[in-house]
Copies of this chain bind each other. A is one copy, B any other.
Amino acid sequence: MAVQRRNTRQRKLVLDAVRQSCSHPTADEIYSAVREQDPKISRGTVYRNLNLLADEGTILSIKTPGGNRFDRTVDPHAHLICTACGRVIDVPLPFDGSLDASAADETGWSVMSHYTIFEGLCPACRDRDAVPGIEANL
């Protein structure tokens, strides 16, 4: 049977912090945010609760190079990461859930899910990197 979960103050704080953020925060950003409400909460507790909430499906865990990020939006969608500053945004492109079945057909494995990550530059980093005096800025 399912493990019985308790409604702890800490768990609620973590969930609220994820729900109040629209910037796909890292575990450490959640930790900082929650610390402002409860200066005693520990990193371990934040990590444990983030993982627990993600396992439950209450929040979404996004596996990005350089650390997981969390998303209050749980319906599957792609993400775009700035390779310069690490910022992450949602990509409003149609998500094709049927690809899982295709992948299973092709490979013989059981396929549960898939995720797509785009890599690029956010406007701020793109503009900053556009070195003045060099013409080839496209």
- For this complex, 17 residue pairs linking A to B, each with C-beta atoms less than 8 Å apart, are A63-B117, A80-B103, A80-B111, A92-B107, A93-B99, A93-B106, A99-B118, A103-B120, A104-B120, A109-B126, A110-B120, A112-B121, A114-B116, A114-B117, A114-B119, A115-B116, A117-B117
Q: Determine whether A89 belongs to the interface, using a CB cutoff of 8 Å to chain B.
A: yes
This chain's copy number in the assembly = 2
The answer to the question of A122 belonging to the interface, with a C-beta cut-off of 8 Å to chain B, is yes
Name the one of B63, B64, B112, B119 contacting A112, with C-beta atoms under 8 angstroms: B119
A123 to B110, CA, bound (A): 7
Q: Which residues of B contact A119 (CB under 8 A)?
A: 111-115
Q: How far is the CA of A121 from the CA of B78 in the complex (A)?
A: 22
Binding site for B on A (CB under 8 A): 63-65, 68, 78, 80, 82-83, 89, 91-93, 99-100, 102-104, 106-123, 126
How far, in angstroms, from A64 to B63 measured CA to CA in the complex?
A: 8
Shortest CB-to-CB span from A44 to chain B, Å, is 19
What is the distance, in angstroms, from A31's C-beta to the closest C-beta of chain B? 20
Give the contacting residue for A118; candidates B68, B89, B111; CB below 8 A.
B111
